[in-house]
Structures are given as structure tokens and as C-alpha cells.
Amino acid sequence: MPEGDIVLRVARRLDAALAGQRLVRGELRWPDLGGTDLAGVGVRGHGTHGKHLLTRLTDGRTLHTHLRMEGRWQVLRTGDLAPAGRCRADRSPQVRAVLATPAWTCLGIDLGLMDLVRTSEEDRLLGHLGPDVLAPGFDADAAAERLRGQGARPVAEALLDQRVVAGLGTIYTAETLWAHRLWPWTPAGELGGQAADLLRTARRLMLRSVAARTPTATGDLRRTSQVHGRERRPCPRCGTPVVRGTTGPPRPRQVFYCPACQRPGRPARPEP
């Protein structure tokens, strides 16, 4: 599932195509929104909260979407989709939303969630989530209290819980714990002052990915992760083969780590 860095990249791309513009076409191909026509409505801009995307409209409403596992937004030139155009992507049954200006058309493909609510009521959809790790005003110390409040719960499991902090998935959970040499099953309540440092590292890694030409958890486009997805490959720090474990509930989630650098009880020393 795309993590917060990917969703923020999507929001910025959609902003470049739609923000400040009036829609000439606005179709929502969703069971309870199928009769909605957004043509003529302006787009104020896009926001995110964790893995959730918010398209805010000038009529006081917000289109809320979530990519889930398969979703994506595609941006095409509107002229290519005209009746005489060469592209028919907007006719695909996988398209769930069509938002178009005279210049650009944005297609929401295989989206996992969609709601249309009053902008003033966004909290009804997002209020159960923890603070967004990529939000401009993110308070790492306050979020750290939430993380430590998970008590005996493994830190990897707590970081993956969007109700604790929003935006992290299996990639940035693994990469952040590796950066701090922290065993993924360390009880969250035992983190002490490390909790805020952990969250600041997650934020730094994700913002670096947002700014990169293509997503990367390392800052290096040749190797986009240190441990995630690198089972049996050497740890970049000590050479020990990376292993994969699982954490949960509510459902098993994979977590990659170095069994030498991230041993139980080993003092955490973040990478410089």
C-alpha cells in the first residue's frame, strides 16, 4: 500500500494539474456517488493526511480518496481524450473518477475508497487517525507520547497503526527502525526519549523521498531501501543477511531487519 510520501507526491502532481482551475468534467464512478457531476466546480487544492488524499473544492466540499493497494492517479492531456483524440483511457471500467480542466485530465484508477463530504466535516472521516507524520506542523514530542502510550505493544506494530501516527507503512517502519538499530519487537512503552527521535527520522526519510526525482527511502536512486524487501541480502551497515519477520494484529504485516544491528536490548544509536 502506498505510504505517506507517495500520497503527498500524488497530491502535488494533482495540484499542478487542477489547483486554481474550474473543472470542465467531473465524474465520480462510485456506487453511492454515481449521479454526482462536478463540472463547473473549482478546485482549491489538495491535502493529505497519512495515506488519505483530499481534493478540496470551491463549493465547500472535499473529495476524499484512498489508493489502498492498487489505486493510482493518472494525469493526461485533455486534448488526447477528446472525441477525436488518440487515447481512450477514461473509458476504462477501472476508472473511478475523472477530474478535468481544459488542459489536463486526472483519472482515479482502481481507487480503494471515495467519499464526498463538506470540507468542514473532513474530521468525520479522518478523526480516528493519529497525527500525520508529514504535516507541516507535526509535533514529534506529542506524537511520541501516543507511541509510548502503546505500552507493551511492539514498536513496529504501533508504528504501522494509523491510529497512533498516520502515514507510515512497512517500508518506512523498517527503514526507521534500522536507522536507529532498534529491534522491531521492542515494547513501545520502553522507548523513552527515543520515541520522538524515531518519529523525526521517519519524517526526514519520507520528506527526502517526496523531494527526490523518484521515491527512495535511502536518498540513493540506485538502492531505494536499506532493509525493506532485501531479505537474505547483506545489511548495508554490517553485512549480516537481512531477515523478514511479521508483526500484527490486526493482520500480519512483514517487517525486515538486521538480526545483528537490531538485536533485542541493544542500545539504539541512530545513523548520522
Q: What is the pLDDT of residue 165?
A: 98
Considering the candidates 51, 181, 200, 203, report the single residue annotated as catalytic.
Answer: 51
C-alpha cell at 32: 453511492
| Cis ω for the linkage preceding 154 (within 30 of 0) | no
Q: Which of 2, 131, 154, 184 is catalytic?
A: 2
Instruction: Give the per-residue pLDDT at 272.
Output: 47
Catalytic choice (237, 253, 259, 270):
253
- What integer pLDDT is reported at residue 237 of this predicted model? 96
Fold of 140-257: Helicase, Ruva Protein; domain 3 (1.10.8)
State what percent of residues in the chain have pLDDT above 70.
97
Give pLDDT tens digits for 158-217.
999 999 999 999 999 999 999 999 999 999 999 999 999 999 999 999 999 999 999 999
Residue ranges of alpha helices (H) inside 134-235 are 140-148, 155-160, 170-179, 194-211
- Does residue 270 surpass a pLDDT of 70? no
128, pLDDT greater than 60: yes
Predicted pLDDT of residue 110: 97
Domain extent listing, the chain:
4-126, 140-257
Convert the pLDDT of each residue in 13-47 to its tens digit: 999 999 999 999 999 999 999 889 999 999 999 99
pLDDT(268) > 60: no
> Is 154 an active-site residue?
no
Per the annotation, the verdict on 2 as an active-site residue is yes
27 annotated active-site: no
Task: Tell me: cis bond preceding 250? Omega within 30 of 0 counts.
Answer: yes
SS (H, E, C) 198-212: HHHHHHHHHHHHHHC
Beta-strand relationship, 253-257 and 243-247: antiparallel
Q: Supply the pTM of this predicted model.
A: 0.92
**Residues 6+ positions from 54 with CB-CB distance below 8 Å:** 46, 47, 48, 62, 63, 64, 122
Residue of 3, 27, 122, 157 with catalytic role: 3
Judge whether 253 counts as a catalytic residue.
yes
Q: Do 140-257 and 4-126 fall under one CATH topology? A: no
Q: What is the pLDDT of residues 206-258, one digit of tens each?
A: 999 999 999 999 999 889 999 999 999 999 999 999 999 999 877 899 999 99
Homologous superfamily in CATH for domain 4-126: MutM-like, N-terminal (3.20.190.10)
